[in-house]
Amino acid sequence: MYENRFIAFIDLLGFGSLVEKSATDNDLPGKIFSALSSLQPKTIEEEAYASINHELCPPEELENVRALLKRMTQNMKALHPVTITYFSDSLVISALSDDVISSQMILDLLAKLSIKLWSEHSLLLRGGITEGKLIHQEGGPLFGPAMNRAYYLESKLAINPRILIDNECITKYRSVETFQLFESFFEFDGEFNYASLGTAYRHILNDSSLVLAGEEVLWKFRKTLAETTGKLSEIREHFEDERVKDKYTWLIEEVSRR
């Protein structure tokens, strides 16, 4: 019954404290709702298979492009399905191990989501990626040793705002030539291979499909990257817990290297 699948387990850092704060901040519930809406499977699917570069699309063509995009997404989903489950402040994305396109799509999605949730909602991700036995049905059961391992990577080993990937998992990814485009999404610290907000920007700006669109699309990513360290420093000063501050300090240094 189990299938061999690549799986990413992702958690929104600091979400619990944000919800607590929303009880006394009237603006926060709307912001939280908007952030969580962007994690809905249907919304993520739109990013997974194709998206509209509004900067390059003439307004009079937008309706036709949306219709074409919808058909393309339906066809791609049928051929190369990516399964997405969202609950509370966590997200699970998986794909069959022998489907190169959908399994690499997981990585592309994580890079885009990292930047989207940061630039639009000031939220950071922590997670784990592995490969193994899993049952994952959209709107249905989700369990297996691979799920346990991905959760363990996120909850026990990642510590900082980053996404750890098992060594055996990244080796399997690297066995496919097209993974070269995703090397920029990962870093190695001597113990773990990981992706972060900094490496997400590096990948998007250098090796993603968005590069083909040129500066008309990339400028907004360069702009938010330039603002990131200052924004992280400002948020860090709102915390008194040194353990939380250390996580932001780690990420500031990580982003500064990109």
Q: How far is CA 74 from the centre of its chain?
A: 21
DSSP string, 73-130: HHHHHHHS--EEEEETTEEEEEEETT-HHHHHHHHHHHHHHHHHHHHHH---EEEEEE
CB atoms near residue 73 (< 10 Å): 17
> Buried b / exposed e across 133-167, counting CB within 10 Å, b at 16+?
bbbbeeeeebebebbebbbebbeeebebbbbbbbe
pLDDT class of 57 with cuts at 50, 70, 90: low
pLDDT digits (tens, 9 = 90+) for 92-129: 999 999 999 999 999 999 999 999 999 988 999 999 99
pLDDT class of 52 with cuts at 50, 70, 90: low
pLDDT at 147: 98
Cα–Cα distance for residue pair 114/158, rounded to 1 Å: 15
Please determine, for residue 17, whether its predicted confidence score (pLDDT) is greater than 80. no
Cα–Cα distance for residue pair 21/157, rounded to 1 Å: 27
CATH superfamily of 3-197: Nucleotide cyclase, GGDEF domain (3.30.70.1230)
pLDDT class of 60 with cuts at 50, 70, 90: low
Question: If you average pLDDT over every residue of the chain, what do you get?
Answer: 88
Give first-to-last CA distance, the chain, whole Å: 43
Please determine, for residue 250, whether its predicted confidence score (pLDDT) is greater than 60. yes
Residue 23 or residue 133, greater confidence: 133
Residue 60 or residue 91, greater confidence: 91
> Which two three-digit tokens encode residue 90?
């966590």
Q: Is the pTM of this model over 0.85?
A: yes
pLDDT class of 217 with cuts at 50, 70, 90: confident
The closest alpha carbon to 2, from 150, 165, 132, 139, belongs to 132
Question: Using an 8 Å Cβ cutoff, are 43 and 166 in contact?
Answer: no
pLDDT at 13: 87
pLDDT digits (tens, 9 = 90+) for 141-182: 999 999 999 999 999 999 999 999 999 999 999 999 999 999
The closest alpha carbon to 233, from 214, 248, 216, belongs to 248
Cα–Cα distance for residue pair 133/69, rounded to 1 Å: 33
In the chain, the amino acid numbered 13 is L
> Buried b / exposed e across 51-68, counting CB within 10 Å, b at 16+?
eeeeeeeeeeeeeebeee
Question: Using an 8 Å Cβ cutoff, are 171 and 95 in contact?
Answer: no
Question: Using an 8 Å Cβ cutoff, are 39 and 86 in contact?
Answer: yes
